[in-house]
Structure 1
Amino acid sequence: MKYEAISAGALDESQTIGTPSTNNSLKMQLRRAERWNRTRAFLLVVPLLLFVGVTFIMPIMDMLHRSIHDPLIVDHLPKTVAALESWDRQQIPEDTTYAVLAQELVSLHKQRDLAKVAGRLNTEFSGMRSLLSKSARGLARLNAGAGLESAADTREAMIRIDARWSDIQPWAAIKNLNSRYTLSYYLAALDMHYDVSGDISAQPERRQIYKALLIKTFAMSALITVLCLLLGYPLAHLLATLPESRSNLLMIMVLLPFWTSLLVRTTSWIVLLQTEGVINDVLISIGLISERIRMVHNLFGTVIAMTHILLPFMVLPLYSVMKNISPSYMRAARSLGAKPAYAFIHIYLPQTLPGIGAGAILTFILSIGFYITPALVGGRSGQMISNFIAYHMQTSLNWGLAAALGGILLGMVLLLYFVYNRLIGINSLKVG
């Protein structure tokens, strides 16, 4: 009887604990269920990933590729590029190189592809457009009359057509573009270029545009960010400390610009700031000024309009942080003898740093990419780098330079994110 009782107890215990094979089976089923849950979650996110990839990542990758990909000269002047491969840049090339270039220029002239090649080379060396066009027409007439019999004759004919072919600069411009991938667009975006010897040097002062424009863009963005912070910080503090009924009403006033078209807000500032506008009329009527002030189509108008448009992007992150700060901290500091200014600087302000950082980075990044407001309100002196990117995309059709300028802006934004992550941390980013 005792043996049977012990056996029955052991059987019940084995049924309760389970055999090793049963435990392994349960673990496998659990892992399978978890794997299926992860797969299902990933499949639900796939449409969003595809959308982001097609509309965001792929255009950026295409832009970065265009900024370094420049196959035009290699594709249209392959024999000339090959002939210049061993050229030492010390003296004019050999006669055979002249003959090869003449043959390809005449061919491009007949195929009506010379304009593209001449335009690209003209960005490297001023005057190449007229030089190539003039030379192609002259060589085509000589070939029609069978006036060229040797490479030496071709060289002499090209120099007679235009004396610049006796200089090494046109040849150096062609050799500088002897690769499908080049940094010439980025150099141009920084007001530099490859010189006659193939070294990197600064552009002539009269052709330096983009470096000063980039500095101006970042300086304007920094100024607008500071102005938004100075105006938005007390407003966000007021929203966070007022009773909920009043703060909600003020929050509607802050969000009201989001419900109005950007174009409408921009043109409204033109009406307000123009010489015959409302602000000038008011200032003259109250006697503060005797002559009308020009406040539009300049840098001042751009800063004012952009500060108004970007102010909510500073207020919302600050409000989201300030709303979660308990007022008991300030009361405790005051009860311990701290003065209001000391308590604010050492107690309240450090707790709002995540909101300051989030608002500053949002405002700064949005401002460096603004296009419509500087174009309408800024005029010539108030334009930013984004306006020149649009010019090269739509008017000059120099997409490589536009992509290089965009790549520089992208690099600066990534650097800003890196600095923000090191100082404050991306995980503390709060936008509302």
Structure 2
Amino acid sequence: MANQISAIRGMNDIYGDEAVAFDYLIGTAEKTLKQYGFNSIRLPIVEKTELFARSIGEVTDIVEKEMYTFADRNGESLTLRPEGTAGCVRAIVQNGLSHNQIQKLYYTGSMFRYERPQKGRYRQFHQFGVEVFGLATPDIDAELIVLTARLWEQLGLENLELQINSLGSQEARVAYREKLVAYLSEHKASLDEDSLRRLDSNPLRILDTKNPDMKTIVEGAPKLIDHLDEESKAHFETVKSHLEDIGIPFVVNPNLVRGLDYYNRTVFEWVTTELGAQGTVCAGGRYDGLVEQIGGKSTPAVGFAMGIERLVALLMDKQFVPAMAQADLYIVTAGENTSRPGLVISEMIRDAFPKINVQMNCGGGSFKSQFKKADKSGASFAIVMGEQEVENKEVALKSLRVEAEQKTLKWDDLINHLNTIFNA
């Protein structure tokens, strides 16, 4: 026997209740997005490496350490997408979708980062992303946050905290960066190795450190929110006012900077304490300069991404996931000439009752073994077709969950009788 081949570390099979939870989450999210006028877009998994280097930032951890990058047969550097926004921006630029028009788009799929696998953080993970192009006003920032709050309500999720901040304009951030570097340089002896590496390349990320030993230094650092340009201040105040009008509580977190270079003005995260260290389940913000940075015309943009694995873990912990699909009717066919008419009957029932789950026994077997399968399927009723029933163009309808008399029905009468059961 050949050696068993295992999945790659950090790239997991999803099945059973977890797969049901995935489908439930994505289906609920799609319904919610459509309520707000969004349309779907499907994006490639592989993009040119340059796209991510240019958009995410060459000195970010993602580009420097975490991307799956390889050369194709023509020697071109390609990368498995580590996030979805850059690819979506590339798509709207390449296809001319942002010219004098508003685009409200969503997508879902796999992302890839070479990280140390742990609960809620995998090398292949799934995101549900939302992007809006062509709107610069704070009302759309607020609507995206309100939209996520509605989704948590529809999923039954509670105890998620909304943290918001403003990163201001690019010019304000450059001026603030100088003040921050000056402050951190004064405390250089107390910085950890990761912060020392970021001091010159990406000092704002030091504010988002998870190292508890850095807490005092970070708390004493100058706050970006105190150095915003006037326009960004007004924008942020309006976003907060909209959230207050809707009644969505939030915390202003001045150290919330997000891990990608392209953000400006509004940034936000939904966090939980119920998943250990990986507490962020949804994050996003405004990135007005990215479309132009990738080669398009200057276009305001804002969006967010949800971590599907983390939200699925919350749903499963709280048992908010529908049960795996079970049969309503199970077709039992035993005898040489019963499987073909059994298939015809099963399709006839599906045509008449699109919402009923009809499971057809396949693979033969005795009546006893098929009834065991019927019971395991969760079906309320079995439709029994032996050779005698087929000869008489009849079926036997047997209740599997409650005591009831078995009924014999002509094929022509079956649909009407089932209508009295399922549409009563």
Fold agreement, TM-score > 0.5: no
Q: Higher Cα Rg: structure 1 or 2?
A: 1
**What TM-score do the two structures reach when normalised by structure 1?**
0.25
More strand by share: 2
**What TM-score do the two structures reach when normalised by structure 2?**
0.26
